[in-house]
Amino acid sequence: MLDLCQCGHCQNDMCIHKVPIFSTLNEEELIKIAGLITHRNYKKGEIIIMEGEATDSIIIIHEGSVKAFKNTPDGREQILYVFSDGDFFGEQNLLSHQTSTYTVEALEIVKTCMLSKNKFQSLLHQYPEIAIKIIEELGERMSRLENALQSIGVRNVDNRIGGILLDFKDKYGRKTPEGILIRLPLSREGMANYLGIARETLSRKLGQLENEGIIRSVGNKSILILDQEELKALSGNVF
Amino acid sequence: MLDLCQCGHCQNDMCIHKVPIFSTLNEEELIKIAGLITHRNYKKGEIIIMEGEATDSIIIIHEGSVKAFKNTPDGREQILYVFSDGDFFGEQNLLSHQTSTYTVEALEIVKTCMLSKNKFQSLLHQYPEIAIKIIEELGERMSRLENALQSIGVRNVDNRIGGILLDFKDKYGRKTPEGILIRLPLSREGMANYLGIARETLSRKLGQLENEGIIRSVGNKSILILDQEELKALSGNVF
DNA sequence: ATATTTTATTGATTCCAATCACAGTAATTC
DNA sequence: GAATTACTGTGATTGGAATCAATAAAATAT
């Protein structure tokens, strides 16, 4: 995003610059909001919000990535979202009296910005555009959840794996001469928990895709996409 | 909801009376909005919105119920929501430039109220509380989707069936001396498409639950819940 | 650089739900 | 109310992914 700020006080790395929900505001308004924000950092593995807990702030990620998950009755974890720079969470608690519907855990060192319930609510009344931006963002998240739910209706596991790789490509991919290199935010186990399948099944399927020349594993934390079209076909995404 | 309107013009069955997103407004404001609304009825089986289609209105259900679903690549349908009185859809198209993420089909005779894009947007700017109400409602829907996604991570199918019965109980249940009688909005096939399982599997599992004395089928369109606690245990819902 | 721990892969087996096939039941239509 | 049509239930079989078990590879610590 273009940085319009020329003043001495305003840091260029202010988190609000990164956050889509504030994107309709001008620099002056942003500076005002920046003053309302508090910061906090987390180490890898630290819990930021616990499922069922009430929070009193909306939390915006300034840097790093987190996973949001639920613990299933049988002791596994089902990952619902992976949030990174500019994403927010905790908004449910501010508007309704809901407690958090998921646990949020840092996947690496994470810097967050927090805006307290009261400040955020008055902001919403002052700038309806922020509310509209939030509705838009929630709409996108719902759309992603809906797709996830659909791909489960399709019992085919390959389908889901194709989907997650394409998702990660958009968010974490980098073009290289050989193909698009994805720096994975999750381990194999994490990805399996995202897809709702067993770790071993994921390994096998990824191995298969590698044999077919569609992808290549690069260490444990990266995957190179060699044939994006084939992946799209696999994911059943006809659009 | 209490009907405060005493005037001659205002119909008591105005849809906006039923709609939570307008619940913060006073009677005068409601009457103003009522004038902006157009109506349309649908027969069972009629398509209200098609996936991928752009619409220019938010649609509120005044009476009846609908299913919102996606067609999976392998030709099945995955139901995402069942909407009834007071629920709305089509809001994605108004705020972002998204097209509909699902198809909506009437499950019975349905009466709808529509508010056009332009009118709705100016309303949002005028009454930020409406936007906040929408955020709340979307939050609840997301919470439901998240639960659905979780219960898929749990491979156990009984779990999901318990969940859908408890959901339907809250929305469509009626207390009787024998237990809570649910008037099902969906056929067995519909329920199976909601759960993402085969129709036959659902039949078998429901039969099992009946043998265990937890439920009783009453014709094809109703189910009597005899042992709600056992159902909760089954659904793994510890909260 | 080596040792230790963590994470990932591969193989063998089991099990649950999908599918196929058909019979039974309920709901419409005439 | 009989006939037709749509929906639902049950049995037999198959298949794909989970689980169990062990090895291999990678990341981290020493």
CATH of the domain at B144: 2.60.120.10
Predicted local confidence at residue B69, as pLDDT: 94
Q: What is the per-residue pLDDT across B197-239, written as a single tens digit (0 to 9) for each?
A: 999 999 999 999 999 999 999 989 999 999 999 998 888 765 5
Which residues from A are below 8 Å from B151, CB to CB? 72
pLDDT at B2 > cutoff 70: no
Percent of chain A clearing pLDDT 90 (strictly above): 49
DSSP one-letter code for A20:
G
What pLDDT does residue A106 have? 95
Cβ of A236 and B142 within 8 Å?
no
Domain-ending residue, one of A131, A152, A173: A152
Last residue of a domain, one of B152, B178, B206: B152
Closest to B55 (Cα-Cα) out of B138, B117, B124: B117
Pick from B102, B130, B152: which residue ends a domain? B152
Q: Residue A88 pLDDT > 60, yes or no?
A: yes
Q: Comparing A237 with B5, which gets the higher pLDDT? A: A237
- Say yes or no: A142 and A173 in one domain: no
User: Residues A179, A87: one domain?
Assistant: no
Measured distance CA(B98)–CA(B104) in Å, rounded = 16
A148/A194 Cα distance (integer angstroms): 10
The verdict on a CB contact (< 8 Å) between A101 and B193 is no
Predicted confidence (pLDDT) at residue B150 exceeds the cutoff of 80: yes
Q: For B30 and D11, how far is CA from C1' in angstroms?
A: 59
* A26-34 own/partner pairs: CB under 8 Å, 24+ apart: A29/A127, A30/A5, A31/A5, A31/A7, A33/A115, A33/A123, A34/A10
Contacts of A132 (CB under 8 A, 6+ apart): B95, B124, B131
* Statement to judge: residues B32 and B126 lie in one domain: yes
Residues A133 and A168 occupy one common structural domain? no
- When computed from its CA atoms, the radius of gyration of chain A, rounded to whole angstroms, is 19
Q: Could you tell me what percent of chain A has a pLDDT over 70?
A: 92
Average pLDDT, chain A: 86
B149 and A196 within 8 Å at the Cβ level: the answer is yes
CA distance B165 to B202: 12
Give the per-residue pLDDT at A205.
96
Report which residue type is found at A173: G
User: Can you give the residue range of the structural domain that contains A165?
Assistant: 156-235
Residue B116 has phi, psi (to 5 degrees) of -70, 155
Mutation choice for A interface testing from B146, B200, B239 by most A CBs within 10 A: B146
Provide the CB-side half-sphere exposure for B139 (13 A, CA).
23
Residues ≥6 apart with Cβ < 8 Å to A208: none
**pLDDT category, A78, cuts 50, 70, 90?**
very high
Q: Looking at the structure, do residues A36 and A105 belong to the same domain, yes or no?
A: yes
Q: Residues B14-52: pLDDT tens digits?
A: 677 878 888 888 888 888 888 899 999 998 899 999 999
Least Cα separation, residue A11 to chain B (angstroms): 30
pLDDT band at A238, cuts 50/70/90?
Answer: low
Lowest model confidence (mean pLDDT) among A13-27, A40-54, A160-174, B104-118:
A13-27
- The pTM of the whole model exceeds 0.75: yes
Check residue A18 and give its pLDDT. 80
Confidence band for B151, pLDDT divided at 50, 70 and 90: confident
Amino acid identity of A178? E
Long-range contacts of B69-73 (CB under 8 A, 24+ apart): B69/B102, B69/B103, B69/B105, B69/B193, B70/A146, B70/A147, B70/A150, B70/A153, B70/B101, B70/B102, B70/B103, B71/B103, B72/A150, B72/A151, B72/A153, B72/A154, B72/A236, B73/A154, B73/A159, B73/A236, B73/A238
Which is more confident, A208 or A159? Answer: A208
Higher pLDDT, A153 or B10: A153
pLDDT band at A156 (very low <50, low <70, confident <90, very high): confident
* Same domain for B83 and B34: yes
- Separation between the CA of B94 and the C1’ of C7 (whole angstroms): 46
Query: How many structural domains compose chain A?
Result: 2
Average pLDDT, chain B: 86
pLDDT value at residue A215:
95
Statement to judge: residues A79 and A181 lie in one domain: no
